[in-house]
């Protein structure tokens, strides 16, 4: 969230441009997004968006020191890095700086020698750790401590109590389920309990501590009863009648504005929420995580990043742009109400084999066609796209393939891309953008499907299936 100073003169920073070409995802919820943000499950042969996949945490890492951390350790450290700090003032990363200070030598107190003292400093807002009174440390890292929350003990006790309660509730629920289903399989059992969101964040640590009890997720048939668990008793919180009164000069004291913390600075330290800037202590940097995406229907991974935090590559990357032909708008003429104009679009083939694409205009009363404000006439003939050839740029030979292109339909052809025309007749007057939609039907060769063993040795081609996608184009406003 950003707030701008009222004296800001200039363009509003980074307003996202409206997406021009969007594809419809037919999931549980019909979402529309540009192809670059979609994934393609090649086992289900369907488009998937971020909302119809399940997100799983792969690994945790610190964004500044790029240190990897296993999930259990991350949970223990409350998802914070041990070495890096954030500036409490501007949330930038703090850097450690050294100064030389004269210090008495240990052997001879009269002579002084230069010793290094380290302090934390922010390069952006020039905050230093000396501003809040933190003394300089003699070691470069590891010497900085966050201030202790006075209520830590009480909070920990409450957490333990509620974790135990959640554990007990879960055992009872599992027992009831077990009693109902006579022939429950342990595997189905475990899947259910793994996916269920744990109440109060029950950690595996607690389960490991009780060595005698089995993990309730597996082998639920042998729950031990009457096993001695340490009963945790907590005292209920006490409500007080009297509250600390406000200071006398609360209304008359002039405010020292630079000393007052902003809401954001205050809420980033929920333990103390200091109102004065001289009590803002640096906090450890938050860890970021790498996530992997999984199709909910077939449970295959759609996106799995590399484990190493320094690597941006993916082990599995089933993104839609590498399987589905992409439509892009190349040029839009002046659009006028009820006048037919020609719009130039391009179609790119991402796969290496020849692709046949047919465009079909949406019919009347199509339930997927809700937003369009213009009539569109798409080319009726089938468009043929050449395969993507990585060496095409370096090959000096002329194109061996000769597609008979109708010059009224196909404007140009360049390796795996063609430009073609569609005719648009805007139907609505006014300030709204002109939106057209049509269906694009193409053949898809599923290389992931296993080749049946009884196929003939010479037949190497896999069967092609035809996929249909609903595409919407936003062509901008009508010409004035």
Partner 1 sequence: MKICQLLAEPHRWLRPSVKIAAGAVVCVESEIRGDVTIGPRTVVHPKARIIAEAGPIVIGEGNLIEEQALIINSYPENITPDSEGVEPKTMTIGINNVFEVGCVSQALKIGDNNVIESKADVGRNVILTSGCIIGAFCQVNTCEVIPDNTVLYGSGCLRRVQTERPQPQTLQLDFLMKILPNYHHLKKTVKASQNPS
Contacts to partner 1 by CB under 8 A:
3-5, 7-8, 13, 89-90, 124-128, 130-131, 258-259, 277
Query: What is the nearest approach in angstroms of partner 1 to the Cβ of residue 4?
Result: 6
Question: How many residues make up the chain in this entry?
Answer: 480
Q: Are 455 and 462 in contact (CB under 8 A)?
A: no
Closest CB to partner 1 among residues 53, 89: 89
Token pair belonging to 362 = 């949406």
Closest CB to partner 1 among residues 119, 421: 119
Query: What is the nearest approach in angstroms of partner 1 to the Cβ of residue 9?
Result: 8
Closest CB to partner 1 among residues 89, 318: 89
Cα torsion 286, 290, 295, 296: sign: negative
Strand, coil or helix: 91: coil
Q: Are 86 and 285 in contact (CB under 8 A)?
A: yes
Q: Is 267 left (phi over 0), alpha (psi -120 to 50) or beta?
A: alpha
Query: What is the nearest approach in angstroms of partner 1 to the Cβ of residue 397?
Result: 51
Rounded CA separation 364/130 (Å): 71
Closest CB to partner 1 among residues 13, 150: 13
Closest CB to partner 1 among residues 257, 457: 257
Closest CB to partner 1 among residues 54, 95: 95
Q: Are 38 and 295 in contact (CB under 8 A)?
A: no
Closest CB to partner 1 among residues 11, 431: 11
Query: What is the nearest approach in angstroms of partner 1 to the Cβ of residue 436?
Result: 38
CA-to-CA separations, 112 to 100, 103, 222, in angstroms, rounded: 12, 5, 71
Rounded CA separation 143/388 (Å): 56
Query: What is the nearest approach in angstroms of partner 1 to the Cβ of residue 90?
Result: 7
Angle, helices 186-195 vs 152-180, to 10°: value is 150
Rounded CA separation 223/174 (Å): 10
Query: What is the nearest approach in angstroms of partner 1 to the Cβ of residue 257?
Result: 8
Q: Which of 321, 18, 3, 269 is nearest to 148 (CA)?
A: 269
Strand, coil or helix: 143: coil
Query: What is the nearest approach in angstroms of partner 1 to the Cβ of residue 97?
Result: 11
Closest CB to partner 1 among residues 149, 262: 262
- How would you write 361-374 as a 3-class SS string? ECCCCCCCCCCCCE
Query: What is the nearest approach in angstroms of partner 1 to the Cβ of residue 12?
Result: 11
Q: Which of 223, 159, 171 is nearest to 196 (CA)?
A: 171
């Amino acid at each position: 969230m950003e707030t701008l100073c009222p004296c800001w003169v200039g363009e509003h920073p980074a307003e996202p441009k409206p997406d021009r070409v969007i594809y419809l995802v037919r999931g549980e919820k019909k979402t529309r997004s540009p192809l670059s943000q979609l994934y393609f499950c090649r086992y289900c042969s369907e488009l998937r968006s971020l909302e119809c996949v399940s997100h799983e945490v792969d690994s945790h890492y610190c964004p500044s020191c790029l240190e990897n951390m296993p999930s259990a350790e991350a949970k223990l450290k409350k998802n914070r890095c041990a070495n890096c700090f954030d500036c409490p003032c501007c949330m930038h990363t703090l850097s450690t700086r050294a100064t030389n200070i004269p210090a008495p030598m240990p052997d001879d107190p009269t002579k002084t020698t230069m010793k290094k003292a380290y302090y934390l400093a922010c390069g952006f807002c020039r905050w230093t750790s000396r501003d809040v009174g933190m003394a300089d440390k003699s070691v470069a890292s590891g010497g900085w401590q966050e201030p202790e929350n006075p209520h830590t003990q009480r909070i920990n006790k409450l957490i333990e109590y509620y974790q135990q309660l959640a554990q007990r509730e879960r055992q009872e629920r599992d027992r009831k389920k077990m009693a109902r289903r006579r022939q429950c399989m342990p595997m189905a059992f475990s899947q259910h309990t793994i996916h269920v969101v744990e109440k109060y964040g029950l950690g595996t640590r607690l389960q490991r501590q009780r060595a005698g009890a089995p993990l309730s997720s597996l082998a639920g048939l042998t729950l031990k009863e009457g096993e001695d668990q340490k009963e945790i008793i907590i005292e209920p919180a006490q409500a007080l009648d009297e509250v600390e009164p406000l200071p006398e000069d609360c209304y008359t004291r002039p405010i020292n504005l630079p000393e007052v913390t902003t809401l954001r600075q205050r809420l980033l330290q929920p333990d103390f929420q200091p109102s004065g800037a001289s009590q803002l202590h640096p906090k450890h940097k938050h860890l970021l995580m790498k996530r992997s995406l999984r199709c909910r229907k077939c449970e295959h991974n759609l996106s799995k990043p590399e484990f190493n935090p320094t690597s941006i590559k993916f082990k599995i990357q089933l993104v839609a742009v590498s399987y589905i032909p992409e439509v892009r708008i190349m040029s839009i003429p002046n659009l006028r109400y009820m006048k037919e104009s020609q719009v130039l679009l391009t179609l790119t083939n991402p796969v290496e084999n020849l692709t046949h694409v047919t465009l079909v205009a949406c019919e009347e009363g199509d339930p997927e066609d809700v937003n369009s404000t213009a009539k569109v006439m798409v080319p009726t003939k089938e468009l043929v796209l050449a395969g993507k050839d990585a060496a095409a740029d370096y090959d000096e030979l002329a194109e061996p393939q000769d597609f008979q292109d109708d010059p009224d339909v196909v404007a140009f052809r360049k390796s795996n891309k063609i430009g073609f025309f569609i005719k648009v007749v805007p139907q609505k007057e006014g300030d709204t953008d002109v939106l057209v939609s049509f269906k694009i039907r193409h053949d898809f060769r599923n290389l992931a499907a296993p080749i049946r063993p009884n196929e003939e040795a010479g037949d190497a081609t896999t069967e092609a299936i035809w996929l249909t996608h609903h595409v919407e184009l936003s062509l901008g406003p009508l010409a004035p």
